[in-house]
């Protein structure tokens, strides 16, 4: 498959560890944030989202934290598995009346067995 | 439920030519957004179509145009191709123009020589 990100920040963890991926967003007026996972040769896959009126949201094995004061978003993955290896993107919606997602640069997560 | 599909998978064109890429939205979704993803970068928003009309646009020149059909499938057309247009082109469908999760297709890899 093709390489999604050639020179991305990389987070290397052991299987079973918890992973934290961070993201800084740009627009203080953004009201909707999403984390996507992209495996090589595939389109981004929705993981979890959060609206600006919340500061934490939990899914299955994943938690997203939003700190609007410093415009920071994080994705926590519990008990990381080799299948979690991928590039992770945060995205913010800056559109009004339509969704215009602005994606971050991405972080490559490598999970070792 | 059928996911987002795109065709073709890969395409090679010559500079100056025109190309049409196709996207079928997920069943029940009425909104399609198109993104360009250069190698090693996050997707960049091109435009969104909602109920057969362009509903929002990113910073792409007019030679990038699109259509949405009554069945909500969509086309992306690029005229006068340039070398820098080489990228993965992604479409994402959602239910609603400004709300709802965007689900991405696998993308079309366009190479311009």
pLDDT single digits (tens) A4-25: 445 689 999 999 999 999 999 9
Q: What is the pLDDT of residue A100?
A: 87
Q: What is the pLDDT of residue A7?
A: 64
Q: What is the pLDDT of residue B1?
A: 53
- CA–CA distances in Å: residue B56 to residues A9, A90, A97, B46, B64: 31, 21, 8, 9, 13
Q: What is the pLDDT of residue B47?
A: 96
User: For residue B40, what are its two tokens?
Assistant: 């090693």
- Over residues A54-112, the pLDDT tens digits come to 999 999 999 999 999 999 999 999 999 999 999 999 999 888 888 889 998 899 999 99
Contact B43 A100 (CB under 8 A): no
Q: Report B:10-29 residues touching A (Cβ under 8 A).
A: none
The per-residue DSSP string of A26-68 comes to S-TT--EEEEEEE-TTS--EEEEEEETT-SEEE-SSEEEEEET
Q: How confident is the model at residue A2 (pLDDT cuts 50, 70, 90)?
A: very low
- Over residues B51-101, the pLDDT tens digits come to 899 999 999 999 999 999 999 999 999 999 999 999 999 999 998 777 778
Which of B33, B42, B50 has the CB atom closest to A103's CB atom? B42
The total of other beta-carbon atoms located within 10 Å of residue A97's CB is 11
- Rounded Cα distance between A108 and A82, Å, is 13
Q: Are B47 and B56 a contacting pair, CB within 8 Å? A: yes
Q: What is the pLDDT of residue A5?
A: 45
Task: Nearest chain B residue to A48 by CA: give it.
Answer: B101
- Over residues B1-19, the pLDDT tens digits come to 569 999 999 999 999 999 9
């Amino acid at each position: 498959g093709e390489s999604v990100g050639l020179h991305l920040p990389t987070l290397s963890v052991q299987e079973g560890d918890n992973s934290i991926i961070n993201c800084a967003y740009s627009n203080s007026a953004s009201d909707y944030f999403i984390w996507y996972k992209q495996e090589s040769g595939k389109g981004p896959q929705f993981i979890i989202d959060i609206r600006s009126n919340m500061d934490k949201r939990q899914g299955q094995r994943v938690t997203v934290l939003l700190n609007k004061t410093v415009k920071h978003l994080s994705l926590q993955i519990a008990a990381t598995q080799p299948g979690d290896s991928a590039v992770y993107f945060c995205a913010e919606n800056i559109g009004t009346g339509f969704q215009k997602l602005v994606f971050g640069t991405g972080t490559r997560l490598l999970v070792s067995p | 439920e059928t996911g987002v599909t795109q065709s073709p998978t890969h395409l090679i064109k010559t500079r100056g030519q025109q190309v049409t890429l196709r996207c079928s939205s997920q069943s029940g979704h009425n909104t399609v957004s198109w993104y360009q993803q250069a190698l090693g970068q996050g997707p960049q928003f091109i435009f969104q179509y909602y109920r057969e009309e362009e509903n929002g646009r990113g910073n792409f020149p007019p030679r990038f145009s699109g259509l949405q059909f009554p069945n909500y499938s969509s086309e992306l057309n690029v005229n006068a191709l340039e070398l820098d247009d080489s990228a993965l082109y992604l479409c994402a469908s959602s239910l609603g123009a400004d709300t709802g999760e965007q689900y991405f297709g696998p993308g079309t890899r366009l190479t311009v020589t």
